[in-house]
Amino acid sequence: MTPARESHSPSPETPPWEPTACILCESNCGIQVQLGGDDGRQFARIRGDRANPVSRGYVCQKAGRLNHYQNSRDRLLSPMRRRPDGSFEEIDWDTAIREVAARLSDVRDRFGGESIFYYGGGGQGNHLPGFYARSTLRTLGSVFRSNALAQEKTGEMWVAQQMVGAPSRGDFHHCEVGVFLGKNPWQSHGIPRARVTLREIAKDPERCLIVIDVRRSETADLANIFLQVKPGTDAWLLAAMLGVLLEENLTDAAFIARHTDGFEQVRPLVEEIDVQAACAVCGVPEGQVRAAARRIAAASSVAVFEDLGVQMNRNSTLVSYLQRLVWMLTGNFGKLGAHNVSTSLVPITAARSAGPRETPVTGAPVIAGLVPCNMIADEILSDHPNRYRAMLIESANPVHSLAESRRMRAALEALECVVVIDVAMTETARLADYVLPATTQYEKAEAVFFNFEFPENAFFLRRPLLPPPTTDKAGPLPEPEIHCRLTEALGGLPTERVEEFRNALREGGRPRFTNAFKAAIRNDPRLAGVAPALLYRTLGQTLPPGAESGAALWSAAQICAARRAGIEGNDSELGDALFDAIVDSPTGLVFSIDPPEVSWKRVQTANGRLQLAVPDLFDAIEALRKSHGPAITSKSFPFVLSAGERRSFTANTIYRDPKWRRKAFEDALALSPNDAAALELTDGDRARLVTAQGAAEVLTMISDRMQDGHISLPNGLGLDYPDELGERTLDGIAPNELTAVTDRDPIAGTPWHKSVPARLERLTDAG
Ligand SMILES: Nc1nc2c(c(=O)[nH]1)N[C@H]1C(S)=C(S)[C@@H](COP(=O)(O)OP(=O)(O)OC[C@H]3O[C@@H](n4cnc5c(=O)[nH]c(N)nc54)[C@H](O)[C@@H]3O)O[C@H]1N2
Ligand SMILES: Nc1nc2c(c(=O)[nH]1)N[C@H]1C(S)=C(S)[C@@H](COP(=O)(O)OP(=O)(O)OC[C@H]3O[C@@H](n4cnc5c(=O)[nH]c(N)nc54)[C@H](O)[C@@H]3O)O[C@H]1N2
Ligand code: SF4
Ligand SMILES: [Mo]
């Protein structure tokens, strides 16, 4: 990243550095931006913000390109309505809101609110849309929803729910041993100050960095122990590690006795694992597996991070279970440097019991309130009477990001009504009946909900850097405003209540408002559903200009304060103080500092102990023993394709302009030197990549990071973007043109994007 160049001496005309956050990955580093350019709306300079309590000045190379997001040529400036011929026309907001409300109520009246499906609600840096959407959805009676978490994290959530009853996170800042399992934080980040933190662990002779990956990833370059598995075989590796822990008596017997249940059930399963055979399946020398298991057992604290390499892969839910067994059997919960449950301001997923438990058509399990992404198309493309009939999609591009794009497109076409809220005319938006333009994340207040830090946790409600663009079109609106208008048009926002709360604020200030609001919600539970919109229209108007969208956080702050104080409902002052502190903080706020022991109080299992037994997965452990490894390849598909690697210049589909990338070959398919030689391919050659779902012409790149038989494509590419003349060109490969919805985890329904059977053919040079 480019720090401020000191050669530019500050002059009175120098625009100020304004604090905000990077929106490209869940780390959401604090940044400062200097606006400039002819219109004053360009991000002229960007640097890390030292005042941000989590990132403390850290940024990676991607943040410096944020102008490509803010000033994208694909920007939507008017609501759009699809004509019968598939083209779009601009309409004004009143028409858009009226017609969207009418179309969705019509679907509700004919098929019930449950037939209206909601997808998205937030990206890497914006989560307020999902919050306010609740008002629209409750008014419509919509109950089924999903988002990207249900194609990566739901298997892990399902396991964590049973073992801990709550989500926990590894503390890589303090750990003695840090383990990254199918996770490449050098590129993907996801822990605070990732590169600094990784180097600190690796360089300290007292600490140890363990990386488990199929590729010699950039993180693996730093590792003290690198276990290079064969694709999709992590379950065998972890089983072998568990076998070693038992065989060599390396478990923490005191911890197991004091804090856990179920060891007697798990022990025989693990004892039966043939360590040598399991090592042969995963391809890691037994000596390395034993060394890693011993290092973990000897450590005073261990933190483990599993991510897409295993979550989008064979046995993913089983892997989430086995890796937890590794750290639980070695006593790594509820202490500094290990796994802990952080104080959350806003839980990112639904509470355990809320909402339906299975999907209406396929009966798939709804985990953490989310429909499995790989099942969405099946829930629509059916003649089942309870199939989804309409979709509201917000801040997500599922036609591009979910498995089997072709099927997702067919599903959207089959719906009665599709409404998309986005900043750009995306692949998904182009299939909508209505597209509603949102202000960018730098034109409204936004917040980051991926706050899992421990022992200190922070929250950042950032203010807009600039107003929405002035335009002769209808102009974009922030999502809270869009949802309020929709809720009003649907008749969900009682005007007399709005008046009552406004009066309370005017006459009695926050205390009177708080009492009135809480009492109203207690007496009329329907109001709770539209609370975000109510808060926005009332409390929001008393917040500093630009911070209105923060209004819905008021209830989150109240709940958070109540939970902390331990007395539900009797601590409005604390809640208000927390809310005001969040609204007033220009660079983010540490809102909780926990003693590690507190994690034990947050274990939500029936008896407060960690549950080692997850019986639903016992058969899967047995099956490992009898298997020689996952059958991924075949004669016609001899390669294992990772469809979606994070690289230096990928950022989901947040940047649409390919010019943001500053490196050649970022769009290329990586393959090993041996495989390249066998296929007579060199760097920069074009080849045909074929899977059961489709084929694509790819640019090839030889990489000694790759093992033989494994090939890898970047994520987030394959978008089209207009040039100066408006001519659209496609850039790179959209990975999900090559994936299948049926390749998924049997429990969570998460996709197997990291092990797609594939074939690579040399293209004879046509000249
Ligand atoms: N630069 C960049 N950073 C990002 C993003 C981005 O688009 N670009 N996206 C963000 C998002 S949404 C997410 S969810 C995270 C994801 O972050 P990561 O999960 O770290 O990202 P990936 O590169 O998809 O996968 C991680 C690693 O899994 C390895 N892998 C593949 N197959 C296997 C296997 O069978 N076993 C094992 N052990 N490893 C395997 C790959 O080689 C890769 O190094 O990144 C976030 N950060
Ligand atoms: N094959 C394969 N598929 C994958 C992956 C993979 O590794 N391989 N990775 C998966 C993962 S982990 C993830 S998280 C998903 C990500 O995929 P999605 O969840 O679909 O989200 P993003 O690509 O992050 O795109 C976010 C959308 O939000 C829009 N947007 C940006 N700012 C705003 C705003 O302020 N308001 C609104 N309303 N919209 C805004 C952008 O224009 C974009 O359309 O992709 C998944 N798909
Ligand atoms: S680590 Fe993530 S949030 Fe931080 S600068 Fe890089 S992309 Fe942005
Ligand atoms: Mo993700």
Ligand 3: nearest atom to the Cα of 55: 4
**Is 433 a pocket residue for ligand 1 (Cβ < 6 Å)?**
no
Buried b (16+ CB within 10 A) or exposed e, 699-736: bbbbbebbbebbbbbbbbbbbebeeeeeeeeebbbbbb
Residue 451 is predicted with a pLDDT of: 77
Q: How far is ligand 4, taken at its centre, from the CA of residue 711, in Å? A: 20
* Cβ–ligand 1 contact at 646 (below 6 Å): yes
Per-residue pLDDT at 632 exceeds 90? yes
Pairing relationship of beta strands 639-645 and 710-714 according to DSSP bridges: parallel
Mean pLDDT value across residues 364-393: 97
Ligand 1 atom having least distance to the Cα of 712: 42
pLDDT of residue 572: 77
Protein residue with least CA distance to atom 41, ligand 1: 309
Q: Which ligand has the minimum distance to the alpha carbon of residue 60?
A: 3
> Is the CB–ligand 3 distance for residue 23 below 6 Å?
no
Which residues are paired to 302 by β-bridges? 177
Q: In b/e form, how buried is each residue of 8-47, taking b as 16+ CB within 10 angstroms?
A: eeeeeeeeebbbbbbbbbbbbbbbbbbbeeeeebbbebbb
Per DSSP, 75 falls in state B
d(CA 509, CA 506): 6
Q: Angle at which helices 572-584 and 495-523 pack, to 10 degrees?
A: 130
Numbers of helices and strands, H then E, in the chain: 26, 30
Closest-lying ligand 3 atom to the alpha carbon of residue 189:
1
Region 390-409: mean pLDDT is 98
pLDDT in tens, 174-201: 999 999 999 999 999 999 999 999 999 9
Q: Are 511 and 575 in contact (CB under 8 A)?
A: no
Task: Evaluate: CB of 401 within 6 angstroms of ligand 2.
Answer: yes
Given a cut of 90, whether residue 562 has pLDDT beyond it is no
- Residue 681 φ/ψ, nearest 5 degrees: -110, 145
Domains observed in the chain: 17-70 (3.30.200.210), 80-152+350-438 (3.40.50.740), 169-340+612-623 (3.40.228.10), 493-594 (no CATH), 631-762 (2.40.40.20)
Mean pLDDT of 63-88: 97
Tokens found for residue 431: 């299939």
Return the H-helix or E-strand segment holding 699: strand 695-702
Q: Which two tokens stand for residue 301?
A: 């604290």
Quick check: CB of 168 below 6 Å from ligand 1? no
Any atom of ligand 1 within 6 Å of the Cβ of 432 = no
Summarised one tens digit per residue, pLDDT across range 401-459 is: 999 999 999 999 999 999 999 999 999 999 999 999 999 999 999 997 777 888 889 99
Cβ of 60 less than 6 Å from ligand 3: yes
How many CB atoms are closer than 10 A to CB 562? Answer: 17
| Ligand 2 neighbour 394 (Cβ under 6 A) | yes
> Does residue 351 carry a pLDDT above 60?
no
> Predicted confidence band at 350 (pLDDT cuts at 50, 70, 90)?
low
For residue 6, pLDDT beyond 90: no
**DSSP code, position 371:** -
Strands (E), 375-498: 390-394, 417-422, 434-437, 446-447, 456-459, 461-462
What is the mean pLDDT of the segment spanning 326-349?
A: 90
Cα 326 to chain centroid distance, Å, stands at 25
